[in-house]
């Protein structure tokens, strides 16, 4: 496993140390690894959502004159 040194303001350093001191994490490295994993997952989800948004825009739009009637028809098709 590679090693990386980072600099933190005192307040952040104290928070990181407190997370491992109260047993949430075994040590500061565990916390940082968990935060990085969470950020990676978050960015993957955002990328997937952006891809779906692009697909939706590419599929086109429909004109709806009566929005309540439009939603009623969708509910009927869904059996609601």
What is the tens place of the pLDDT at every residue in 54-64? 999 999 988 88
Residue 18 lies in a domain: no
- For 55, 56, 63, the CA distances from 60, given in Å and listed in that order, are 9, 7, 10
For residue 37, the enclosing domain spans 25-57
pLDDT of 80 reads 82
Q: How far apart are CA 34 and CA 31, in angstroms?
A: 5
pLDDT at 12: 97
In this prediction, what percent of the chain has a pLDDT beyond 90?
Answer: 84
The pLDDT assigned to 1 comes to: 87
Residue 63: inside a domain, yes or no?
Answer: no
pLDDT of residue 4: 92
Token output for 25:
């994490």
Q: What is the mean pLDDT of the chain?
A: 94
* Domain presence at residue 72: no
Helix 10-21 vs helix 28-59: angle between axes, to the nearest 10 degrees?
A: 100
Residue 51 falls inside a structural domain = yes
Is 66 among the domain residues? no
């Amino acid at each position: 496993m590679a090693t990386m040194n980072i600099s933190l303001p005192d307040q952040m350093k104290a928070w990181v140390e407190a997370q491992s001191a109260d047993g949430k994490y075994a040590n500061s490295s565990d916390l940082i690894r968990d935060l990085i994993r969470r950020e990676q997952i978050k960015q993957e989800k955002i990328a997937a959502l952006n891809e779906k948004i692009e697909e939706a825009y590419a599929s086109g739009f429909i004109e709806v004159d009566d929005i309540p009637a439009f939603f009623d028809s969708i509910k009927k098709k869904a059996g609601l």
